[in-house]
């Protein structure tokens, strides 16, 4: 039986190789996964032209996935250095990579990335449009924008961020409700500017069926972008954000009618006490579609530490239903991240995702922690290292400061609670000041 997309196959009762693979990875019943893909609450981004893909599922009942942003810019356009980041992201088992390249040989970098990467690949075609045509923003036509989308789809991009919810109505809401931080989405701001400069409706909203036809042909998952995501905690959950989210919910249903998979992108900067409500709103307004969040970053005052502020928000978001976390590095708001920044961001995001999985009861999530707890109780350092989210750092820290009693660490030495409880529970003597018997 023929099918056009993963969703089309799932609706027809077909178990695709991608559905089978994801079911094995997630230890979930194949039929249950198929039902969720058919319903739209799980997406399996898998472009027909991405031949090196090792598929992942994003959504209801599955592990929280993480995305790594990278790509060349005018100020940092070393392709080889940027590809070193690709290799690191894959080595660290990030499930997705977004190529946000916006200058120079974007096509060359994108094709190399797709050929190499087993991870899901995403892009924002709007970033590429100005450079692709060597035209100023005002001079780009709707046809120009759609040709870039189709080129990315042909190249094998698995999911694309398209800011289709930034329409004239949303723009009017934004104008009537001034923000402290304005519009901070790069793609959203570019589209808003294009609309203002040309006095026209957003082509991706106005010709939405044309966009869906491209996605359907190549099985591109549509990541409906949040042009009005808050860039300051003061702006979160405001009329612009909620109006756009309502529009995205309507666009989600239209995409599903054409068997196009959808993810919804979300905040952004957000006060910690608003995160739970925002997760509920997205799931309600967007009919349970997978939710992809940047952070949320829970305070605006920590440049250099935004991998921490986002991990705090990401853990809360994931525990309350977010399905996909975009990593944030210490370089956020400051510069393009380097390799060390990337590693810090990936680790922070993986911690947040795993903490969220424990909170929402994902099958098997606690087992990892329970194994670590057992190893700690046994003072089995080798097993602890193997279970670490970052084995290299854990080993380096321990080896930099070794205790007299090799079973303990230099924090407590022979006063180690675990050491002494193990001994006393075994009926042994505890020597703290002298050598053991």
> Among candidates 334, 361, 358, which has minimal Cα distance to 345?
334
Tell me the CA end-to-end span of the chain in Å, nearest whole number.
Answer: 74
User: 40-359 — its CATH code?
Assistant: 3.20.20.540
Looking at residue 261, its pLDDT comes to 98
What is the location of CATH 3.20.20.540 in the chain?
Answer: 40-359
Looking at residue 75, its pLDDT comes to 72
Looking at residue 437, its pLDDT comes to 59
Q: What is the mean pLDDT of each run of 10 residues along the chain (437 residues)?
A: 94 98 97 98 98 98 97 76 94 96 83 97 92 89 97 98 98 97 95 97 98 98 97 98 98 98 96 98 98 97 98 98 98 94 97 98 96 97 97 96 90 91 91 76
The Cα–Cα gap between 299 and 233 comes to 7
Looking at residue 430, its pLDDT comes to 86
Binding residues for substrate: 69, 98, 127, 163, 185-187, 226-229, 265, 292
Binding residues: 69, 98, 127, 163, 185-187, 226-229, 265, 269, 292, 333, 409, 412, 416
* Cβ–Cβ under 8 Å, residues 150 and 157: no
Rounded to the nearest 10°, the torsion over CA 76, 81, 86, 89 is -90
With residue 98 as reference, give the H or E element that holds it: strand 96-99
Enter the pTM of the model: 0.95
Residue 234: which residues within 8 A CB-CB, separation 6 or more?
Answer: 179, 180, 181
Looking at residue 352, its pLDDT comes to 98
β-pairing verdict for 262-266 and 58-59: unpaired
* Cβ–Cβ under 8 Å, residues 68 and 346: yes
The Cα–Cα gap between 162 and 40 comes to 18
Binding residues for [4Fe-4S] cluster: 409, 412, 416
Convert 116-147 into a string of H (helix), E (strand) and C (coil): HCCCEEEECHHHHHHHHHCCCHHHCCHHHHHH
């Amino acid at each position: 039986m023929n099918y056009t997309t993963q969703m089309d196959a799932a609706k027809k009762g077909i178990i695709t190789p991608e559905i089978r693979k994801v079911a094995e990875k997630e230890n979930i019943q194949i039929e249950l996964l198929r039902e969720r893909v058919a319903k739209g609450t799980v997406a399996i981004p898998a472009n027909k032209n991405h031949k090196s893909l090792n598929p992942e599922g994003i959504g209801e009942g599955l592990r929280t996935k993480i995305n790594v942003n990278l790509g060349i810019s005018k100020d940092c356009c070393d392709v080889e250095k940027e590809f070193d980041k690709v290799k690191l992201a894959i080595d660290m088992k990030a499930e997705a990579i977004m190529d946000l390249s916006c200058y120079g040989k974007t096509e060359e970098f994108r094709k190399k990335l797709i050929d190499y990467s087993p991870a899901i690949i995403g892009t924002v075609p709007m970033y590429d449009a100005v450079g692709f045509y060597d035209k100023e923003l005002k001079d780009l036509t709707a046809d120009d924008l759609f040709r870039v989308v189709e080129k990315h789809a042909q190249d094998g991009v698995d999911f694309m961020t398209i800011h289709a919810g930034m329409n004239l109505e949303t723009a009017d809401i934004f104008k009537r409700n001034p923000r402290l931080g304005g519009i901070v989405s790069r793609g959203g701001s570019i589209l808003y500017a294009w609309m203002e400069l040309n006095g026209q409706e957003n082509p991706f909203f106005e010709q939405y069926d044309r966009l869906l036809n491209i996605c359907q042909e190549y099985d591109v998952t549509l990541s409906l972008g949040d042009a009005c995501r808050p860039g300051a905690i003061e702006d979160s959950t405001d009329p612009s954000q909620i109006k756009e989210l309502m529009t995205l919910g309507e666009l989600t249903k239209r995409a599903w009618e054409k068997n196009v998979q959808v993810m919804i992108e979300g905040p952004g900067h957000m006060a910690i006490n608003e995160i739970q409500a925002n997760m509920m709103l997205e799931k309600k307004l967007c009919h349970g579609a997978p939710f992809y969040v940047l952070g949320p970053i829970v305070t605006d005052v920590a440049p250099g530490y935004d991998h921490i502020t986002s991990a705090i928000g990401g853990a809360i978001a994931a525990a309350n239903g977010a399905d996909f976390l975009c990593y944030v590095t210490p370089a956020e708001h400051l510069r393009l991240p380097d390799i060390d920044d990337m590693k810090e961001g990936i680790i922070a995001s993986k911690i947040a995702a795993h903490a969220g999985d424990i909170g929402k009861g994902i099958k098997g999530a606690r087992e990892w922690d329970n194994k670590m707890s057992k190893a700690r109780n046994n003072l089995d350092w080798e097993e602890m290292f193997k279970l670490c989210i970052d084995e290299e750092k854990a080993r380096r820290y321990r080896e930099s400061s070794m205790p007299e009693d090799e079973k303990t660490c230099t924090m407590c030495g022979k006063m180690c609670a675990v050491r002494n409880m193990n001994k006393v529970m075994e009926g042994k003597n505890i020597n703290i000041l002298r050598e053991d018997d």
